[in-house]
């Protein structure tokens, strides 16, 4: 091989590598990149032309054929790898193989983020290489895959103090969410907190829920086992404004009420209060009535005019014992198709429950949405011992325990998209009546679907159907707990027995080959 050809081959290789390094390290130096690349190309062409006879002979040789096959095979494998990378880049899909679905977003998150009305910007404040940033980025990737209206910026508070001060950030790991004129901060960016924050910033008007008081109702600040403090916290996280209402003082339901909640009164509601409640509902208001058994609330006639019938009974379900409860605490897992219960597959438990059935009322459409099991019944003689089903006196299950009633139309009827655009309340009032209030109390709220059913019902009544879904659950840490004996056994098994078996197998193989 000529010395000049060998030199040009070296020049082609060196200049090609130099051009590649410059393009990566300093892509703005275009002249250096293209100049070195051009010299490399011309040198390679001269070498191929000058040594073409030697190259042909080399390719025809046995070594050359094997080398060519190896090169072609390498190119094919490299092409497959590149294709797979491009395919996965353009068609992303995440697989969550964790036991509790840690990296799987909840149905509500998917529903909200997939239907964002406008762009939402998240500004995350993490220190460089912060361990808290990794789980947040994994979570954020799930949001980004759901919508192109989610934008995420990362800011290091130590390197960007001006931006940090501008947003009023005082804690590492905080996330600021902005959409339109709305802004909110999250200090603990879990899925539940982020989704609730997104709901807040995409909502231009904060809706107000009033809880009736003065008759022994469940208190929104009561932290006892029957209180509603935990439920109030969940409602506030979803962006609702909660207020208490004493009708004896105000005389009417306030005009800014988007929903009136009557949660477990133990004393009768006075006639003038009933008149105010009915006037509010007839004007297009929404009411959520949670009425416990064995208590006469004074609302029976009002609800009957809306097609809802309450009976003086207690629902008994012997099968509830399978869930660790008792027969007087039915577990409901039968749901009639409705906006509130669509795709709802979680069981709900009611500590003490009465039947609520749909009746006929002119101008109203009442629908039963919750049914107890076939082995349950409505017991009318709760003082009898033992409690058993009495044909002809008690009502055999399934027993309806929740009713939705709307004034003037069904929830399935189609309406113009802008029919309620300029109204404070829906055109026709709507109510939901449930035969128990304790299921949403602090003691039972976290049982399976209790919280989701209450929140879905509230969202439906407040005309925010986009929030009806299964909410994100708190991720639980379940470490493996071992006793000292179990730990010692694992140590001996992994550190002593397994290595000893491998060593003995090696010695046996060596001894066998030595004797051949």
Q: Where are the domain boundaries for CATH 3.40.30.10 in the chain?
A: 107-191
Q: Where are the domain boundaries for CATH 3.40.50.880 in the chain?
A: 207-467
Q: How high is the pLDDT of residue 50?
A: 79
**Selection from 223-232, 382-391, 403-412 with the highest mean pLDDT:** 223-232
Q: How high is the pLDDT of residue 413?
A: 45
425 has pLDDT over 70: no
Task: Look at the domain 207-467 and name its fold.
Answer: Rossmann fold (3.40.50)
167 has pLDDT over 50: yes
What's the mean pLDDT in 49-69? 74
Tell me the pLDDT band of 101, cut-offs 50, 70 and 90: low
Q: Which residues sit opposite 262 in a β-bridge?
A: 289
Tell me the pLDDT band of 422, cut-offs 50, 70 and 90: very low
Termini Cα distance of the chain: 51
pLDDT tens column, 124-133? 999 988 888 9
Environment class of 327 (CB within 10 Å of its CB; exposed 0-12, middle 13-18, buried 19+): middle
Tell me the pLDDT band of 70, cut-offs 50, 70 and 90: confident
What's the mean pLDDT in 369-386? 88
The pLDDT > 70 percentage for the chain reads: 89
336 has pLDDT over 80: yes
Q: How high is the pLDDT of residue 419?
A: 41
Helix or strand (DSSP H, E) at 139? helix 133-146
Tell me the pLDDT band of 418, cut-offs 50, 70 and 90: very low
Task: Look at the domain 107-191 and name its fold.
Answer: Glutaredoxin (3.40.30)
Q: CA-to-CA distance for 104 and 98, rounded, in angstroms?
A: 9
Q: To the nearest whole number, what is the mean pLDDT of the chain? A: 86
The answer to whether the predicted template modeling score (pTM) of the entire model surpasses 0.95 is no
Q: How high is the pLDDT of residue 13?
A: 86
Q: CA-to-CA distance for 226 and 439, rounded, in angstroms?
A: 9
Q: CB of 372 within 8 A of CB of 355?
A: no
Q: How high is the pLDDT of residue 104?
A: 83
Nearest alpha-carbon partner for 435 in 401, 405, 461, 403: 401
Q: CA-to-CA distance for 423 and 291, rounded, in angstroms?
A: 29
Better pLDDT: 275 or 506: 275
The values of phi and psi at residue 121, to 5°, are: -105, 130
């Amino acid at each position: 091989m000529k010395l000049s050809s060998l030199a040009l081959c070296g020049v082609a290789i060196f200049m090609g590598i130099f051009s590649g390094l410059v393009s990566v390290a300093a892509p703005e130096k275009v002249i250096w990149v293209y100049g070195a690349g051009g010299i490399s190309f011309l040198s390679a062409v001269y070498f191929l032309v000058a040594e073409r006879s030697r190259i042909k002979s080399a390719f025809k040789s046995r070594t050359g054929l094997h080398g060519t096959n190896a090169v072609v095979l390498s190119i094919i494998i490299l092409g497959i790898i590149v294709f797979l990378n491009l395919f996965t880049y353009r068609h992303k899909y995440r697989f969550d193989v964790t036991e509790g679905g840690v990296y799987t977003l909840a149905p509500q998150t998917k529903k909200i983020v997939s239907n964002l009305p406008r762009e939402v910007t998240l500004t995350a404040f993490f220190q460089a290489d912060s361990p808290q940033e990794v789980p947040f980025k994994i979570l954020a990737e799930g949001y980004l895959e759901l919508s192109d209206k989610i934008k995420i910026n990362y800011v290091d508070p130590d390197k960007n103090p001006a931006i940090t001060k501008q947003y009023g950030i005082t804690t590492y790991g905080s996330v600021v969410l902005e959409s339109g004129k709305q802004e909110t901060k999250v200090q603990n960016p879990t899925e539940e907190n982020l989704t609730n924050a997104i709901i807040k910033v995409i909502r231009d008007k904060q809706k107000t829920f009033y809880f009736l008081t003065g008759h022994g109702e469940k208190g929104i600040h009561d932290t006892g086992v029957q209180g509603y403090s935990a439920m109030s916290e969940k409602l506030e996280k979803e962006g609702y404004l909660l207020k208490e209402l004493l009708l004896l003082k105000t005389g009417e339901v306030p005009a800014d009420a988007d929903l009136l909640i009557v949660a477990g009164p133990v004393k009768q509601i006075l006639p003038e209060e009933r008149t105010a409640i009915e006037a509010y509902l007839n004007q297009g208001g929404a009411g959520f009535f949670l009425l416990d058994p064995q208590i006469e609330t004074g609302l029976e006639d009002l609800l009957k005019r809306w097609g809802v019938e309450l009976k003086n009974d207690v629902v008994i379900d012997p099968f509830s014992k399978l869930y660790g409860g008792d027969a007087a605490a039915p577990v409901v897992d039968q749901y009639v198709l409705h906006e509130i219960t669509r795709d709802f597959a979680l069981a709900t438990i009611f500590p003490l429950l009465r039947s609520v059935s749909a009746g006929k009322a002119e101008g109203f459409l009442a629908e039963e949405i919750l049914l107890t099991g076939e082995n349950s019944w409505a017991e009318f003689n709760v003082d009898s011992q033992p409690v058993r089903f009495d044909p002809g006196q008690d009502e055999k299950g399934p027993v309806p325990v929740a009713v939705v009633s709307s004034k003037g139309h069904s929830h399935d009827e189609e309406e113009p998209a802008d029919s309620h655009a300029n109204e404070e309340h829906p055109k026709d009032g709507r109510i939901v009546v449930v035969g128990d209030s304790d299921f949403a109390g602090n003691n039972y709220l976290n049982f399976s679907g209790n919280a989701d059913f209450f929140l879905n019902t509230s969202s439906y009544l407040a005309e925010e159907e986009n929030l009806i879904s299964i909410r994100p659950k708190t991720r639980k840490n379940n470490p493996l707990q071992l006793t000292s004996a179990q730990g010692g056994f694992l140590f001996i098994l992994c550190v002593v027995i397994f290595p000893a078996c491998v060593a003995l197998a090696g010695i046996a193989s060596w001894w066998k080959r030595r004797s051949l």
